[in-house]
């Protein structure tokens, strides 16, 4: 498949049913055009553009009620990390495109419970002098008058939860290194602290959502894994037994509900899934899974269903996804549109979750993507290291892994220690292990693939962005016998630089209280930070290296890239460098993605690819 097909902007995005189910809104991007907000009638599929701007794109949108929507804008054709144009909610509009009202910013939070209301709850972010996130305040905003009613919070709030009666009821606040879960008691009308803990390494009760009957559900770790519990607000305590728990994964998900009932819970294990409590939805899931056996099928019923329809989002490791409507009376499935037009699932590569043992015995999950027709062959391999590093990947179609597999490369994506979602012990073992045990986990994954007969030991390249860029550089330093080349983009080249560069958007709070605990203390761990610095160890990098950086990157400023480039070039002539002047922390423009991955394709072919 042509490279360009992998890195196009999405064609259909964000399909959402109106409260009654009579209409569905979707973001549609015509080839070469701007994304517009389109509303379809679910019975006839008659479509009408509700909002469109000739010089910018519709980004996020949501139903206010059955006739009205709110939306914000972005610009997919201008770099700089795709800042919203302007910031926050831009407008509200009727589904037929009439009665447009410009709004005064903020980020959409949630609709009101009243289906006939024109109000929504909106978050307003407040930012520090460095551009770092500082505080969230909430307003109830009328989308016809653009007038808001402010809500008094309990302090510096990071997040809010609205209850079933449209009252802000729970907030999470932060001050220095302390986080607090706070509850607005409806009788006392005062905020009360339910729990405090260290903001960065503490164990918190994490609010998930309120059911329509007012029950609060939370995610809590008892033992190693997060699980979903009911929280009794009157008694201020958890139920004894969890509602959702998983052996191998932390709970990560949200409630699925209609106007009156909690229907189920959507959660992430290796892939997305739904635990239905409602028998009707359980039976419907079985019907749709029989019709679509090759995909994960996520069902969303209307909040106040007045017509026999549910929205289905179907996806897999080889399918970027598509939105469909299912008529519950006729059993008919009707496709609305694919996420990406040019991807043929039949040409994509299967992805599997595997596990291997690190050198200290820790079980490391990893995603393995194998090119089609590759069984029985030792392949050139790319070890692709995720960023964060405090996050995880999941079973889904991903452009980078699929593109590499389409060019004949085995792709291994380790969930090294420090990755989240696999239990607290797995995450905590990554504290202060940049360049140490975290790095060893990546190398051990490459050796595992060789031992399994999957990878050619003489043709392995390491690649990644952000933290993955750091791990790429450290992999070349620590394991030159293993990694024959490296591709690092937007990568950290020195931990001390993360502290010292004042134009980074990382908050002072994180650098004062988070990084010393999670990454390393500049004073106490000074020697370790030198040993684990690719910049200090640059003379050790002898392998071919492709470096790329965005000139407008605020998370990992470009000085990380220019300094490692210059340092490695002193002893290594095989350094390729590209700067995308207007890009931020990642590639926003299609043209940038196509240019970058063309360079990657050529670089890999030259260094580990199949010989002509």
Give the per-residue SS3 of 277-289: CCHHHHHHHHHHH
Which of 427-431, 519-523, 607-611 has the weakest average pLDDT? 607-611
User: Is 60 exceeded by the pLDDT of residue 83?
Assistant: no
Average pLDDT for residues 237-246, to the nearest whole number?
95
CA 109 to mean position of chain CA atoms: 18
Q: How much is the pLDDT for 210?
A: 96
Average per-residue pLDDT in the chain?
93
Cross-strand bridge partners of residue 300: 311
Domain-located, residue 576: yes
Give Dmax (Cα) for the chain: 77
pLDDT confidence tier of residue 107, bands split at 50, 70 and 90: confident
**Tally of structural domains, the chain:** 1
Domain-located, residue 177: no
Q: How much is the pLDDT for 86?
A: 52
Q: How much is the pLDDT for 131?
A: 59
515 is in which domain, residue-wise?
A: 349-607
Domain-located, residue 303: no
pLDDT digit string (tens) for 295-333?
999 999 999 988 999 999 999 999 999 999 999 999 999
User: What tokens appear for 270 in the block?
Assistant: 């290796």
User: Is 50 exceeded by the pLDDT of residue 84?
Assistant: no
User: What tokens appear for 471 in the block?
Assistant: 């791990």
User: Is 50 exceeded by the pLDDT of residue 82?
Assistant: no
Q: What is the 3-state secondary structure (H, E, C) of 474-541?
A: HHHHHCCCCCCEEEEECCCCCHHHHHHCCCCCCCHHHHHHHHHHHCCCCCCCHHHHHHCCCCCCHHHC
Pairing mode, if any, of strands 485-489 and 410-414? unpaired
User: What tokens appear for 182 in the block?
Assistant: 């706070």
List alpha helices for 320-423, DSSP H. 399-406
pLDDT digit string (tens) for 385-435?
999 999 999 999 999 999 999 999 999 999 999 999 999 999 999 999 999
Domain-located, residue 547: yes
pLDDT digit string (tens) for 41-50?
999 999 999 9
Domain-located, residue 438: yes
What angle is formed at CA 209 by the lines to CA 205 and CA 213, rounded to 5 degrees? 120
Contacts of 427 (CB under 8 A, 6+ apart): 390, 417, 418, 419, 420
Domain-located, residue 592: yes
Alpha-carbon gap, residue 97 to 19, rounded angstroms? 18
Q: How much is the pLDDT for 85?
A: 52
Domain-located, residue 67: no
Q: How much is the pLDDT for 339?
A: 96
Verify cis geometry, omega within 30 degrees of 0, for the bond prior to 369.
no
CA dist list (Å): 515 to 172, 499, 503: 21, 9, 17
Which of 473-477, 499-503, 599-603 has the weakest average pLDDT? 499-503
Q: How much is the pLDDT for 106?
A: 80
- Length of the chain in terms of residues written: 612
182 close to 170: Cβ distance less than 8 angstroms: yes
Average pLDDT for residues 478-497, to the nearest whole number?
98
CA dihedral 89, 95, 96, 100 (to 10 degrees): -30
Q: Is 573 exposed, middle or buried (0-12, 13-18, 19+ CB in 10 A)?
A: exposed
Q: Give percent above pLDDT 70 in the chain.
A: 97
User: Is 60 exceeded by the pLDDT of residue 277?
Assistant: yes
SS3 state of residue 123:
strand
549 close to 560: Cβ distance less than 8 angstroms: yes
Q: How much is the pLDDT for 201?
A: 84
207 close to 230: Cβ distance less than 8 angstroms: no
Here the CATH number for the domain that contains residue 469 is: 3.40.50.1820
Q: In terms of pTM, does the model score above 0.85?
A: yes
User: What tokens appear for 568 in the block?
Assistant: 């490695």
Domain-located, residue 145: no
pLDDT confidence tier of residue 133, bands split at 50, 70 and 90: low
């Amino acid at each position: 498949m042509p490279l360009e097909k992998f890195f196009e902007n999405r064609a259909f995005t964000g399909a959402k049913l109106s409260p009654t189910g009579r209409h569905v809104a979707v973001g549609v991007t015509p080839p070469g055009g701007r994304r517009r907000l389109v509303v379809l009638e679910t019975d006839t599929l008659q479509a009408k553009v509700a909002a469109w701007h000739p010089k910018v794109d519709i980004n996020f949108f949501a139903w206010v009620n059955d006739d009205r929507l709110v939306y914000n804008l972005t610009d997919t054709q201008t770099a700089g990390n795709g800042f919203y144009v302007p910031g926050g909610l831009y407008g509200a509009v009727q589904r037929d495109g009439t009665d447009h009202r410009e709004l005064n910013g903020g980020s959409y939070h949630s609709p009101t419970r009243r289906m006939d209301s024109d109000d929504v709850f909106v978050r307003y972010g407040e930012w520090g002098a460095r551009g770092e996130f500082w505080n969230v305040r909430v307003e109830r905003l009328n989308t016809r008058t653009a007038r808001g009613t402010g809500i008094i919070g309990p302090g510096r709030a990071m997040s809010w939860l609205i209850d079933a009666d449209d009252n802000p009821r729970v907030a999470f606040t932060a001050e220095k290194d302390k986080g607090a879960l706070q509850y607005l008691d409806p009788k006392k009308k005062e905020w009360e602290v339910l729990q405090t803990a260290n903001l960065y390494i503490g164990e918190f009760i994490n609010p998930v959502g309120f059911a329509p009957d007012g029950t609060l559900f939370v995610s809590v770790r008892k033992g190693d894994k997060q699980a979903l519990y009911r929280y009794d607000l009157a008694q201020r305590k958890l139920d004894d037994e969890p509602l959702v728990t998983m052996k191998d994964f932390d709970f990560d998900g949200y409630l699925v509900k209609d106007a009156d009932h909690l229907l189920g819970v959507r959660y992430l294990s290796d892939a997305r899934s739904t635990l239905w409590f409602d028998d009707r939805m359980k039976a419907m899931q079985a019907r749709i899974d029989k019709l679509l056996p090759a995909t994960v099928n996520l069902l969303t019923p209307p909040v106040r269903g007045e017509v026999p329809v549910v929205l289905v989002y179907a996806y897999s490791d080889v399918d970027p996804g598509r939105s469909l409507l299912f008529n519950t009376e006729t059993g008919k499935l009707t496709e609305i549109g694919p996420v990406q037009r040019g991807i043929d699932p039949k040409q994509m590569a299967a992805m599997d979750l595997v596990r291997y043992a690190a050198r200290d015995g820790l079980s490391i999950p990893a995603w393995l993507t194998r090119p089609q027709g590759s069984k029985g062959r030792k392949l050139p391999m790319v070890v692709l290291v995720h960023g964060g590093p405090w996050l995880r990947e999941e079973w889904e179609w991903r452009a980078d892994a699929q593109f590499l597999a389409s060019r004949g490369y085995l792709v291994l994506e380790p969930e090294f220690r420090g990755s989240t979602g696999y239990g607290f012990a797995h995450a905590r073992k990554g504290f202060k292990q940049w360049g140490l045990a975290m790095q060893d986990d990546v190398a051990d994954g490459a050796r595992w693939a060789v031992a399994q007969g999957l990878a050619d030991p003489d043709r392995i390249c390491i690649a990644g962005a952000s933290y993955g860029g750091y791990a790429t550089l450290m992999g070349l330093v620590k394991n030159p016998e293993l990694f024959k080349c490296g591709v690092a983009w937007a990568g950290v080249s020195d931990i001390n630089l993360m502290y010292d560069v004042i134009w980074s958007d990382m908050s002072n709070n994180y650098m004062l209280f988070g990084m010393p605990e999670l990454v390393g203390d500049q004073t106490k761990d000074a020697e370790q930070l030198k040993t684990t610095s690719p910049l200090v160890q640059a003379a050790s990098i002898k392998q071919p290296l492709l470096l790329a950086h965005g000139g407008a990157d605020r998370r990992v400023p470009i000085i990380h890239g220019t300094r490692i480039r210059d340092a490695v070039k002193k002893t290594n002539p095989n350094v390729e460098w590209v700067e995308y002047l207007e890009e931020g922390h990642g590639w926003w423009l299609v043209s940038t993605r196509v240019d970058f991955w063309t360079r990657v394709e050529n670089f890999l072919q030259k260094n580990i690819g199949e010989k002509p």
